[in-house]
Amino acid sequence: MRTRLVLAAAALGAIALAAPHAVAAPAPATLDGKKVTTLTQVADAPMQANDADIAGGNPTASRLQCVAPRCSVLPFVYAPAKGVKADTLFTVTWTSDVSDIDLYIAEVGKKGVKTLIGNCGGSAGKSEKVFLPAGTLKKGKTYALIADFYRTPGEKVTSKIEMPGKDTVSKMVPAAIEDNVQKINCTL
């Protein structure tokens, strides 16, 4: 009987040590453009206003690392299948005209630190888009679409990644006004 108690205690100890690994976040989905062409996430954006961020510092760096309830994060592994043109379109949509949701695309490093790849931080409309042509993202790397709930009365926000993606970002301003990371009209 004593042997069973010792074995039971050892088994419970082993389960306790393994438990943190069992509750770890699931691996990010793989976007290959053939079997998986679209990733979508719907998140609740609670009422909030983060206008104080404008006052100073580097708000982009903190937004890349943010989590719920301030942001939603849709991680993925970029792995274009053979023959897939790997252009990628990132879109965030919402329903309220008074909301200001910002879109960030980041590479996720080995320790979870995110590095900015592209973003859209407009202040009007009900959507933001960023189109990244083939060659911008690297095969086998992990990336994340981050929707920052900068200002919202509370609503649902949909994040979507499409590969292959079509460049549907508005072209209303001359190309010379576009910068090297995003298109100026990313919210129109």
**Residues 34-49: pLDDT tens digits?**
999 999 999 999 999 8
> In angstroms, rounded to a whole number, what is the distance separating the alpha carbons of residues 31 and 132?
14
pLDDT in the model for residue 62:
78
pLDDT in the model for residue 88:
95
Is residue 121 pLDDT above 60, yes or no? yes
Q: What is the mean pLDDT of residues 139-166?
A: 95
Tell me the one-letter amino acid at 23. Answer: V
Residues 6+ positions from 89 with CB-CB distance below 8 Å: 129, 130, 131, 132, 161, 162, 163, 165, 166, 167, 168
| Beta partners for residue 92, in sequence order | 128, 159
Q: Is 53 exposed, middle or buried (0-12, 13-18, 19+ CB in 10 A)?
A: middle
Task: Count CB-CB contacts under 10 A for residue 42.
Answer: 11
Q: What is the mean pLDDT of residues 46-74?
A: 82
Q: Is 109 exposed, middle or buried (0-12, 13-18, 19+ CB in 10 A)?
A: exposed
Is residue 187 pLDDT above 70, yes or no? no
Domains recognised in the chain with CATH numbers = 26-177 (2.60.120.380)
Is residue 55 pLDDT above 70, yes or no? no
Residue, of 184 and 38, whose pLDDT is higher = 38
pLDDT in the model for residue 141:
96
pLDDT in the model for residue 158:
97
Q: What is the mean pLDDT of residues 84-91?
A: 92
Tell me the one-letter amino acid at 46. Answer: P
Q: In whole angstroms, how large is the CA radius of gyration of the chain?
A: 20
Q: What is the mean pLDDT of residues 165-174?
A: 73
Cα dist from 127 to 76, 122, 147, 150, 181, whole Å:
21, 9, 11, 13, 18
